[in-house]
Amino acid sequence: DQIHLTLYKISNKQLKNRLNPIIIYSNYRKSFNRTLERIYKEQIQSNYDVNQTRISINNTLRDALTDEYQCSALKTAMQCITGAAGADNVPTDFCNRILTKQRSFNWAVLPDKPSSIDGNVRPFAVLITIRGVHNRTDYNSYNEYYMNVKNFFNSYIKQHAPEHLKHAWFSSPNFAFYGVQRELLSGSSSSLLVSLGIALVVLFLTSGNLFIAVYALITVTFAIAITVSVFVVLEWELGIIEGIVIVMAVGLSVDFVVHFGVGYIHIDPTDIDNERKKIEDQSKPNGNENDSKINTLRVMYRKQQVERTTRVRGSILRVGSAVFMAAFTTFAAGFSMIFASVIAIRQMGQFLMAIMLTSWSFSMFFFLPLCLIIGPVGICGSIPFSRLIKCFKQTPRQQ
């Protein structure tokens, strides 16, 4: 009767307008819904005791079995995370407190099509809430915790889940930051390896010598390793900016060693011939055949060493000052950035200073001494690109 009376009042009020006697359905629905809501609340408050209903629901057999299953699952989870000794020492009242205060189960039916197995079961999610405090900045402990929880749920689903739920998986929004950390760790390593591979190809194409490219790659690898060690000493944490910085380190550290390598290869042949003639003039063969062979090997070794020395000296004289000024100016630019209040700018300044210092030092005091000791001489390790180009040009094209 009350509902009918409400409908009559709403209709009569809107139809009294003689100029435009129509019903506005939006106002009609709003008024009707508010009326129904008030009526339903009054009926519930008058006919049902909320506290009694809550007590009766909590004391059902299903709720007791759920508490038992949850307590057993919690002890199993504690055993999975802390070990058998830790699980044996977990008291029952602790599990009960965790279940009542810090743990909850919810079921959510996903808006998807029914299962293709029987046509009745829809996809759903089991939402398990566990409150706790965990250090998210420590990747090792966070990774161990995640793997333990994931392995526990995977094994539990595999053993106890119904047939149409065997493909369920564990997921939690609280591990979103852990996923970012894991991708940064693996992505930075793989990106660094790819960058080093590309650097090797670029070094080989620019220098035209396989040994120089390998020596330069070793130099760049050591420079990047020392730079990353400096970041660890400065207590950097691996983030998006730090991952980009590590990949950029390869490109910036290759520059100096490329200049020295190209200067080593493209030395003036006249200087090398003059130094070789000096060695030949200094060595005087005698009449003994054995001494002549030894002297020939000695002269050959001295010629190779003087060629390496000439190449290293020429490389330093040609590009040494330019490389030093480039490193110094970039180092000075980074030094001016370390006094910034923004952390990203300050870290970028530290990165520029570290990478310039390490890359220049290794290219000057590691790469050049390495070439001085075991550097290639003559055409050893060189690829005759000019001959290959001429060969391709002289090859007759098929019409």
Per the structure block, which two tokens stand in for 229? 């060690």
| Residue where a domain stops, chosen among 159, 177, 195 | 177
Q: Evaluate whether residue 358 is within a structural domain.
A: yes
Q: Evaluate whether residue 140 is within a structural domain.
A: yes
Q: Evaluate whether residue 53 is within a structural domain.
A: no
Q: Which stretch of 25-34, 61-70, 135-144 has the lowest confidence by average pLDDT?
A: 61-70
Confidence of residue 359 (pLDDT cuts 50, 70, 90): very high
| Residue where a domain stops, chosen among 161, 177, 193 | 177
The H-or-E segment that residue 19 falls in is none
Q: Evaluate whether residue 54 is within a structural domain.
A: no
| Residue where a domain stops, chosen among 154, 177, 200 | 177
Identify the top-confidence range among 65-69, 103-107, 211-215, 296-300: 211-215
Cβ atoms of 207 and 385 within 8 Å: the answer is no
Cα distances from 354 to residues 192, 246, 316, 332, 398, in angstroms, run 17, 12, 22, 11, 55
Q: Of 126, 236, 113, 221, which is closest to residue 171 (Cα–Cα)?
A: 126
- State which residues form the domain around 13: 2-48
Give me the helices (H) in the chain, please: 2-15, 25-47, 50-58, 61-82, 84-88, 92-101, 139-160, 176-207, 210-233, 240-265, 269-282, 289-337, 343-362, 368-374, 385-394
* Mean local confidence (pLDDT), 59-67: 52
Q: Evaluate whether residue 331 is within a structural domain.
A: yes
Q: What is the DSSP letter of 365?
A: I
Domain count, the chain: 3
Q: Are residues 212 and 114 in the same domain?
A: no
The pLDDT score that the predictor gives to residue 79 is 52
CA 184/CA 233 separation, integer angstroms: 20
**Hey, how many other C-beta atoms are within 10 angstroms of the C-beta on 231?**
19
Q: Evaluate whether residue 357 is within a structural domain.
A: yes
Q: Are residues 188 and 163 in the same domain?
A: no
**Hey, how many other C-beta atoms are within 10 angstroms of the C-beta on 236?**
17
312 against 30, higher pLDDT: 312
Tell me the per-residue pLDDT of 101-134, one tens digit each, with 9 for 90 and over.
444 544 444 444 555 555 554 455 555 555 544 5
88 against 285, higher pLDDT: 285
| Residue-by-residue DSSP string for 262-286 | HHHHS--HHHHHHHHHHHHHH----
The answer to whether the pTM exceeds 0.85 is no
Provide, rounded to the nearest whole percent, the portion of the chain with pLDDT above 70. 56
Provide, rounded to the nearest whole percent, the portion of the chain with pLDDT above 90. 12
**Hey, how many other C-beta atoms are within 10 angstroms of the C-beta on 135?**
9
Q: Are residues 307 and 361 in the same domain?
A: yes
Q: Evaluate whether residue 269 is within a structural domain.
A: yes
Q: Are residues 34 and 65 in the same domain?
A: no
Q: Of 66, 64, 58, 77, which is closest to residue 132 (Cα–Cα)?
A: 77
Q: Are residues 84 and 20 in the same domain?
A: no
CA 189/CA 359 separation, integer angstroms: 19
Place of tokens 């120089």: 212
Cβ atoms of 222 and 254 within 8 Å: the answer is no
229 against 76, higher pLDDT: 229
Q: Are residues 83 and 227 in the same domain?
A: no
**Hey, how many other C-beta atoms are within 10 angstroms of the C-beta on 81?**
14
Q: Are residues 226 and 286 in the same domain?
A: yes
**β-strand partners of 209:** 382
Tell me the per-residue pLDDT of 178-192, one tens digit each, with 9 for 90 and over.
777 787 777 777 888
* CATH number of the structural domain spanning residue 356: 1.20.1640.10
Q: Are residues 371 and 338 in the same domain?
A: yes
Q: Evaluate whether residue 249 is within a structural domain.
A: yes
Give me the helices (H) in 234-366, please: 240-265, 269-282, 289-337, 343-362
Cα distances from 49 to residues 41, 62, 190, in angstroms, run 12, 21, 63
Q: What is the dihedral of CA 263, 264, 266, 270, to 10 degrees?
A: 120
Cβ atoms of 382 and 265 within 8 Å: the answer is yes
Per the structure block, which two tokens stand in for 353? 């200073």
Q: Are residues 387 and 248 in the same domain?
A: yes
148 against 381, higher pLDDT: 148
Tell me the per-residue pLDDT of 234-292, one tens digit each, with 9 for 90 and over.
888 777 778 888 888 888 888 899 899 888 888 887 887 787 787 777 766 555 555 56
Q: Are residues 74 and 207 in the same domain?
A: no
Q: Are residues 113 and 190 in the same domain?
A: no
Q: Are residues 346 and 199 in the same domain?
A: yes
